């Protein structure tokens, strides 16, 4: 009951036809589903424009995704190499052939060691002369400067860094050994390079994620502009902001989904194109380690998810900014 200024008691409030709570609750989901597909329908009405935007998103998403795939494979590859560590024992010069053989035999008996290979200093010099291109220069040397070398291959059951380390300490105790070298330096360098690569992917990924946000945001802004009169009508008949926002958010979602699907397609096509020459290169190294294959399920799923989220977020930003400005006049 409201007492008005004129003194009249107005018992007639604005009564409104209202759906029941359960109906509204159920309809909420039904309508969401409808708007979900309605927004897809709107996109399919302008297939060319939709595809152009989705392709731009696809390219922006494909670049970091593709780089990530390559980096991921590179670190897996180095992981494989990690397990075939070898330790080089450079012997002192005056060690006799006999002692050398004895040491080799002793080491061979270690459970930690799979194999010990002796590289004779004369054979090594010969090989160096043949292959290095310094043949003549080396001939000028009176003495063979190269030491004898024992190459120790740790057994596969004893090749984690901790065990290798203990083995190294043991090997250093042998008094005929001048220098023990674990060939991991190049591995450390590779890791360092991969680390830089990962940072690079992170930077490129962030920048391109921003690009996705901007592309979606701008597209949605245009969509809002195109449907200005519709938004005005919606507001006039009592549409809440969340109701009006909904189709635009779903449009952003669809753009993100389409974009990431295109990105997956692009990355896989690129991988297929790269795989052949890579297999060739790999065969030149007598190895079948180098193969990128196709994009894994995990990376694909991550790409899809982040594409959809970026689409939603970009649309949300545009809608938040521009929907407020449109009011009935």
Partner 1 sequence: MILFDQVSKRYKGGNEALSRVNFHLKPGEMAFLTGHSGAGKSTLLKLIALIERASTGNVIIGGRNLNKIGRHTLPYLRRNMGIIFQNYQLLYDRTVFDNVALPLIISGFSSREVKKRVHAALDKVGLLRFEKKYPITLSGGEQQRVSIARAVVNKPALLLADEPTGNLDHDLSREIMDLFMAFNQVGVTVLIATHDIPLINQLNKRVIQLDHGQMLTTGDA
Which residues of this chain interact with partner 1, rule CB under 8 A?
1-2, 4-6, 8, 10, 12-19, 23-24, 26-28, 30-31, 229-230, 232-241, 243, 327-329
Q: Smaller CB distance to partner 1: residue 244 or 292?
A: 244
Residue 199 or 228: which CB sits closer to partner 1? 228
Q: Shortest Cβ distance from residue 231 to partner 1 (Å)?
A: 10
Give CA–CA dist 300/318, Å, rounded. Answer: 27
User: Least distance to partner 1 from the beta carbon of 225, Å?
Assistant: 15
Helix, strand, coil shares of the chain, percent, nearest 5, are 70, 10, 25
The minimum distance between CB 307 and partner 1, in angstroms, equals: 28
Q: How far is the CB of 215 from partner 1 (least distance, A)?
A: 25
Q: Based on CB atoms, which residue is closest to partner 1, 22 or 298?
A: 22
Closer Cβ to partner 1, 79 or 328, answer by number: 328
Q: Which is nearer to partner 1, 26 or 280 (CB)?
A: 26
Q: Which is nearer to partner 1, 13 or 188 (CB)?
A: 13
Decide whether 33 or 269 has the Cβ nearer to partner 1: 33
Integer distance in angstroms from the first to the last C-alpha of the chain? 32
Q: What is the DSSP letter of 149?
A: E
Contact of 192 with 75, CB cutoff 8 Å = no
User: What DSSP element (H or E) covers 102?
Assistant: helix 97-108
Task: Quote the least distance from Cβ 251 to partner 1, whole Å.
Answer: 15
Write out the two tokens for 84. Answer: 């075939």
Smallest distance from partner 1 to CB 217, Å:
23
**Angle in degrees, CA 98, 102, 107, rounded to 5:** 150
Do the Cβ atoms of 256 and 277 come closer than 8 Å?
no
**Residue whose tokens read 């209202």:** 18
Q: Return the closest-CA partner of residue 66 out of 239, 284, 292.
A: 292
d(CA 230, CA 248): 13
Residue in 116, 117, 92 with CA at minimum distance from that of residue 175: 92
CB of 312 to partner 1, least distance (A): 22
Closest CA to 324 of 221, 217, 193, 219: 221
Which own/partner pairs from 227-236 qualify as long-range (CB within 8 Å, at least 24 positions apart)?
A: 228/326, 231/323, 231/326, 232/326, 232/327, 232/328, 232/329, 235/326, 235/327, 235/328, 236/328
Residue closer to partner 1, measured from CB, 172 or 228: 228
Question: 60 with 259: CB under 8 angstroms?
Answer: yes
- Closer CB to partner 1, 204 or 234, in the complex: 234
What's the closest the beta carbon of residue 318 comes to partner 1, in angstroms?
20
CB 29 to partner 1: min, Å: 11
List the beta bridge partners of residue 66: none
């Amino acid at each position: 009951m409201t007492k008005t200024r004129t003194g009249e008691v107005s018992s007639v409030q604005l009564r409104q036809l209202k759906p029941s709570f359960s109906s509204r609750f159920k309809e909420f989901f039904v309508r969401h589903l409808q708007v979900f597909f309605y927004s897809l329908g709107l996109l399919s009405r302008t297939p060319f424009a939709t595809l152009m935007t989705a392709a731009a998103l696809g390219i922006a998403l494909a670049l970091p995704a593709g780089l990530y795939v390559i980096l991921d494979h590179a670190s897996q590859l180095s992981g494989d190499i990690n397990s075939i560590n070898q330790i080089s024992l450079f012997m002192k010069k005056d060690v006799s052939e006999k002692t050398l053989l004895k040491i080799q035999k002793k080491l061979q008996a270690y459970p930690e060691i799979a194999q010990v290979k002796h590289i004779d200093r004369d054979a090594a010099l010969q090989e160096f002369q043949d292959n290095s291109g310094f043949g003549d220069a080396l001939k000028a040397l009176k003495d063979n400067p190269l030491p004898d070398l024992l190459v120790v291959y740790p057994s596969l059951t004893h090749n984690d860094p901790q065990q290798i380390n203990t083995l190294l300490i043991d090997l250093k105790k042998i008094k005929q050994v001048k220098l023990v070298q674990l060939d991991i330096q190049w591995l450390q360098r590779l890791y360092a390079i991969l680390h830089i690569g990962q940072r690079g992917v992170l930077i490129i990924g962030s920048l391109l994620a921003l690009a996705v946000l901007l592309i979606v945001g701008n597209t949605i802004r245009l969509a809002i502009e195109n449907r200005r009169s519709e938004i005005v009508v919606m507001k006039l008949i009592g549409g809440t902001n969340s109701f009006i926002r909904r189709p635009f958010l779903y449009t952003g979602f669809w753009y993100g989904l389409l974009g990431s699907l295109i990105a997956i397609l692009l990355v896989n096509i690129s991988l297929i194109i790269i795989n052949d020459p890579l297999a060739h290169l790999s065969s030149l190294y007598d190895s079948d380690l180098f193969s990128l294959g196709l994009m894994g399920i995990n990376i694909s799923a991550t790409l899809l998810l982040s594409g959809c989220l970026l689409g939603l977020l970009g649309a949300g930003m545009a809608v938040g900014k521009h929907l407020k400005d449109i009011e009935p006049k």
